[in-house]
């Protein structure tokens, strides 16, 4: 891993920033998976500089960036959590091992020893708090707090007072943990039955932002903590259907000054930024390029630094000059209108669309370029008319995507998830193979408000399948009129379940081929085989309820006889979320029905791979297999 270089990093996750903003850290992976830790030097002027550290990490590893450039890593293996210290050019230093069902790390401000707070949770439920030093000494227990505690916002620069979110009787209240005394005191209790959480605090001024449902719905508010004044909930910070998340307070504030906060606004597949000045009745948009931001950041005299990704920009660190962005002319924005497929453009425009230029005040450092000297394929967000309203989709293939020689309808996992306007190596590989990709966020997807996400609660394969079948019918009809082959289907996890149902219920000839990764067969069959955490999640999301209507049962095995299109099934044999037995059962049923393996379908078990087979080591080979099959339909 010591030979990794920045241009190989195509995916980055879990960014953290050192308290002084001098360094950041993240998990990174190249084209073939293989995750490792990365340390970023963030100079006061000039570009951010990533350095690969000699490590092999899993997707669940937690990282903390330290002010001296070292990275603290917590590696999870069941209830065993190994804490190690990494530094460029040096062997890793084991610090401690903690056995606990759950463990989380928080960096201490200032950079002095100790370097982190550890929060361990068990089934009693009790949260144990330790302080961890970097000298190899055993973690020092500070407190055992009854109940589950999450969050974590520092109230002072010395690292003594830590605000935590305590769950009591199904409600969340913020308390203050004194790390010297090991005691907690209440901080936010706006109502007897309200959920109140501190989400941002500036120790220099006492300015804090909180999230509470005391006003009747979950809203952002602000107050001078400890000042005795009431909490205010500005209307401009309440935008139904959009999630506003405070990122950072402007640096250099002094008591009495008017705080300025940058907030990330997530709606659908993309995210934007706004600036809000405490007391003002409106927010000011910051003109940033289309894409997806990371909801964490550090704001200093060097600028606001945040993770950023776009379909043609692998994840990296953006540096924003907020004042320059405010002075820039905001781009003209038109309200989106749902587009009937019959009106989708079929021919490329006569002149290529001019690529959007990054605004003054925006710089992106460390985003990988294609290794072959080519270019990454871009994508756009479109709203298409669905049976119950507009359905947003991320679309690869330019303006003439609908009339491309090959088109893939891609379905995301979850179900509580969505396609984002960000770099996706699997979809990039498909686009490089000449495939247009339509990746819809059908009902049940997150990012469009609670009503949209809850539409499939207790109805897996209901409203979402209705949306998918309507899009599939519309796309197939338009392509048939042009003499083009029908679209292909692709899905991962829950999306694989949905793709198999769609392939079974679509008219014969409406699907050219279908590729699925880590599918399950029904909510009930998943409950019967999965581990306890997955069973609990399935029940919480309503997958334990049977849905019976005119389409019949949402059970892939019971409709497998209707799967006529060429089929590719890929599953990791160590999948910890969807047991590989689900795909094995489908293979056995297809064989029982007389389907010929290698002719009608292909079944691939990825040895040693888990649920994230598209992101683990060896992922590039899986991406190539999928792209080739979706283009040609040949199962071998």
**CA atoms of 586 and 583, how far apart (whole Å):** 5
Q: Does the pLDDT value for residue 85 go beyond 80?
A: yes
Per-residue model confidence (pLDDT) at position 579: 97
Per-residue model confidence (pLDDT) at position 569: 98
Per-residue model confidence (pLDDT) at position 229: 81
Q: Where does the pLDDT of residue 136 fall: very low under 50, low under 70, confident under 90, or very high at 90 and above?
A: confident
Per-residue model confidence (pLDDT) at position 354: 39
Q: Does the pLDDT value for residue 635 go beyond 70?
A: no
Give pLDDT tens digits for 453-484: 999 999 999 999 999 999 999 999 999 999 99
Q: Tell me the two tokens of residue 129.
A: 């708090």
Q: How many CA atoms lie within 13 A of 547 on its CB side?
A: 20
What are the Cα distances from residue 25, in Å, to 39, 42, 83, 135, 615?
Answer: 5, 11, 15, 20, 19
What are the Cα distances from residue 536, in Å, to 142, 414, 531, 533, 574?
Answer: 32, 14, 9, 5, 20
Mean pLDDT of 384-406: 95
Give pLDDT tens digits for 508-545: 899 999 999 999 999 999 999 999 989 999 999 999 99
Q: Which residue, among 607, 601, 603, 602, has the nearest Cα to 572 in the 3D structure?
A: 607
**CA atoms of 57 and 75, how far apart (whole Å):** 7
The answer to whether 65 and 24 have CB atoms below 8 angstroms apart is yes
Q: Which residue, among 489, 480, 471, has the nearest Cα to 630 in the 3D structure?
A: 489
What are the Cα distances from residue 120, in Å, to 66, 105, 123, 149, 533?
Answer: 21, 9, 11, 9, 18
Q: Which residue, among 476, 540, 516, 227, has the nearest Cα to 341 in the 3D structure?
A: 476
The answer to whether 525 and 535 have CB atoms below 8 angstroms apart is no
Give pLDDT tens digits for 333-381: 544 556 666 666 665 544 334 345 678 899 999 999 987 778 999 999 9
State the average pLDDT for the chain. 90
Q: How many CA atoms lie within 13 A of 512 on its CB side?
A: 22
Q: Does the pLDDT value for residue 233 go beyond 90?
A: yes
Give pLDDT tens digits for 9-43: 999 999 999 989 999 999 999 888 789 999 999 99
**CA atoms of 124 and 147, how far apart (whole Å):** 8
Structure pTM? 0.91
The answer to whether 138 and 119 have CB atoms below 8 angstroms apart is no
Give pLDDT tens digits for 547-582: 878 888 899 999 999 999 999 999 999 999 999 999
The β-bridge partners of 185 are 176
Mean pLDDT of 427-445: 96
Per-residue model confidence (pLDDT) at position 54: 86
**CA atoms of 322 and 14, how far apart (whole Å):** 24
**């000449």: which residue's tokens?**
434
**CA atoms of 518 and 495, how far apart (whole Å):** 9
| Collapsed DSSP state (helix, strand, coil) of residue 439 | strand
Q: Does the pLDDT value for residue 2 go beyond 60?
A: no
Q: Give the per-residue SS3 of 266-301.
A: EECCEEEEEEEECCCCCCEEECCCCCEECCCCEEEC
Mean pLDDT of 392-416: 95
Q: Quickly list DSSP for 443-466.
A: TT-SSS-HHHHGGGTT-TTSHHHH
| Collapsed DSSP state (helix, strand, coil) of residue 406 | coil
Give pLDDT tens digits for 51-71: 999 899 998 999 999 999 999
**Cβ neighbours of 497 (radius 10 Å):** 32
Q: Where does the pLDDT of residue 204 fall: very low under 50, low under 70, confident under 90, or very high at 90 and above?
A: confident
């Amino acid at each position: 891993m010591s030979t990794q270089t920045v241009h190989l990093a195509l995916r980055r996750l879990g960014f953290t920033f050192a308290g002084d903003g001098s360094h950041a850290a993240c998990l990174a992976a190249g084209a073939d998976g293989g995750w490792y830790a990365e340390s970023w030097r963030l100079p006061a002027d000039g570009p951010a500089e990533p350095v690969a550290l000699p490590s092999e990490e899993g997707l669940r590893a937690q990282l903390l960036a330290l002010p001296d450039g070292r990275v603290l890593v917590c590696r999870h293996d069941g209830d065993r959590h190994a804490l190690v210290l990494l530094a460029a050019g040096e062997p890793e230093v084991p610090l401690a091992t903690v056995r606990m069902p759950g463990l989380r790390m928080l960096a201490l401000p200032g950079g002095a020893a100790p370097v982190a707070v550890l929060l361990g949770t068990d089934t009693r439920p009790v949260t144990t708090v330790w302080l961890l030093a970097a000298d190899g000494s055993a973690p020092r227990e500070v407190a055992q707090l009854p109940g589950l505690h999450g969050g974590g916002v520092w109230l002072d620069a010395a690292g003594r007072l830590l605000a935590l979110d305590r769950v009591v009787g199904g409600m969340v209240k913020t308390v203050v943990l004194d790390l010297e005394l090991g005691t907690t005191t209440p901080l936010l209790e706006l109502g007897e039955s309200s959920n109140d959480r501190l989400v941002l605090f500036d120790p220099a001024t006492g300015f804090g932002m909180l999230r509470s449902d005391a006003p009747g719905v979950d809203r952002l508010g602000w107050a001078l903590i400890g000042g005795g004044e009431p909490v205010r909930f500005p209307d401009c910070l309440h935008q139904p259907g959009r999630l506003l998340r405070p990122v950072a307070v402007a640096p250099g504030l002094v008591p009495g000054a008017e705080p300025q906060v940058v907030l990330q606004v997530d709606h659908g597949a993309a995210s934007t930024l706004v600036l809000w000045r405490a007391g003002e009745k409106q927010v000011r948009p910051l003109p940033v390029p289309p894409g997806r931001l990371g909801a964490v950041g550090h704001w200093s005299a060097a600028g606001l630094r945040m993770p950023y990704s776009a379909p043609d920009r692998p994840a990296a660190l953006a540096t924003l000059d907020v004042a320059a962005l405010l002075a820039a002319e905001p781009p003209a924005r038109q309200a989106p209108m749902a587009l009937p497929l019959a009106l989708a453009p079929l021919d490329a425009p006569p002149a290529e669309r001019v690529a959007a230029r990054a605004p003054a005040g925006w710089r992106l450092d460390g985003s990988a370029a294609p290794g072959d000297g080519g270019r990454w394929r871009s994508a756009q967000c479109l709203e298409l008319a669905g049976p119950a309203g507009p359905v947003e989709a991320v679309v690869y293939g330019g303006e003439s995507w609908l009339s491309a020689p090959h088109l893939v309808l891609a379905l995301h996992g979850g179900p509580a998830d969505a396609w984002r306007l960000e770099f996706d190596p699997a979809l990039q590989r498909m686009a490089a193979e000449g495939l247009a990709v339509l990746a819809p966020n059908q009902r049940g997807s997150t990012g469009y408000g609670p009503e949209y996400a809850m539409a499939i609660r207790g109805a897996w394969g209901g409203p979402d399948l209705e949306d998918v079948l309507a899009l599939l019918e519309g796309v197939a009809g338009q392509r048939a009129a042009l003499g083009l082959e029908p679209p292909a289907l692709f899905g991962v996890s829950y999306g694989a379940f949905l793709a198999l149902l769609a392939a079974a219920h679509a008219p014969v000839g409406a699907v050219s081929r279908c590729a699925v990764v880590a599918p399950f067969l029904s909510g009930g069959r998943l409950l019967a085989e999965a581990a306890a955490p997955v069973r609990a999640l399935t029940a919480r999301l309503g997958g334990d309820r049977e849905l019976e209507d005119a389409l019949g049962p949402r059970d892939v095995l019971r409709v497998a006889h209707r799967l006529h299109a060429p089929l590719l099934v890929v599953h990791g044999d160590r999948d910890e979320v969807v047991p590989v037995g689900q795909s094995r059962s489908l293979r056995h049923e297809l064989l029982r029905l007389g389907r010929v393996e290698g002719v009608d379908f292909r079944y691939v078990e990825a040895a040693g791979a888990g649920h994230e087979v598209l992101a683990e080591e060896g992922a590039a080979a899986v991406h190539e297999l999928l792209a080739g099959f979706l283009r040609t339909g040949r199962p071998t």
